[in-house]
Structure 1
C-alpha cells in the first residue's frame, strides 16, 4: 500500500504550476532568461564564448537567487531589505527605557516636600518669627548672639 505524508500545517504548502515550480519561481527564471540570453548573443561575437557565457551567468544570477532562496519562509528581497534596514537605517544603540512609576512618585514626593518647606518658611515670616539672615560679610555657620 502506498504511503503519502501529509503536512500538519497546510499554510506552508506552495502550489506548483509548471514543472514543479511555483508562480514566483517561473516569473524570476523568465526574467533571468530575458536578461541573460540577449546579453550572451550580443557578446558572443566580440568576446570568446566562454567569457560571454560567464557574463550571462552573472547577469542571470540575481533572478535565479530571487526565485530560489528563502529564509524562514521569506523571499530573498524581504531578507535583504531587513538586513539593509538593520545595518544602515536603524540606530545602532537602542537604550533600554522604562516608565518607572516608583521614580515618578518619588520625584513628586520630593517636589511636594520642597513646596511645603517654602510655604512653612513664608508662614513663619508672616507671623513675625522669621529666621534672621546672615549679613553679607559673615561667613560663619552659627548665629552671633
Structure 2
C-alpha cells in the first residue's frame, strides 16, 4: 500500500503552479532567462564562449537567489525591506523615555494636599471669624 506523509505544520506548504515551482519562483526564473540568454548570445562572439557563460551566470544568479531565498518564512523582498528600514530609515539610536508614574502620583498627592490645606485653612479662618463675632456679643 502506498502512503503519503502529511506535514503537521501547514504554514510551510506552498501552492505549486508548474514544474513543482511556486508562482514567485516561476516569475523569477523567467526574468533570469529573459536576461541571461541574450547576454550569452550577444557576448559569446566578442569575449568568447567561456567568459560569456560566466557573465551570464553572474547576471542570472541574483534572480535565482531571489527566487529561492526564504528566511523564517519571509521572502527576499520583505526581508530586504525590513533591513533597509532598520539601517537607513529608522534612527540608529532610539531614546528610551518613560513616564514616571510614581512622580505623577507624588505630584498629584502634593497638589491634593495643597488644595486640602487651602480648604482647611479657609474653613478654620471662617469658623474662627464666626467665633470671634460670637465672643464679642
Tell me the TM-score normalized by structure 2: 0.73
Q: Which has the higher helix share?
A: 2
Gaps spanning 5+ residues in structure 1: where? 120-145
The 1-side partners of 2:58 and 2:111 are apart by 69
1:35-83 deviation line (CA, Å, top 9, x unaligned): 1110111111111211111111111112111111101111111111111
The 2-side partners of 1:46 and 1:116 are apart by 95
Does residue 85 (structure 1) correspond to residue 101 (structure 2)? The answer is no
Does residue 106 (structure 1) correspond to residue 79 (structure 2)? The answer is no
The 2-side partners of 1:58 and 1:29 are apart by 14
Deviation at 1:97, TM superposition (A): 2.6
The 2-side partners of 1:106 and 1:63 are apart by 61
What is the alpha-carbon root mean square deviation over aligned residues? 2.4
Does residue 58 (structure 1) correspond to residue 58 (structure 2)? The answer is yes
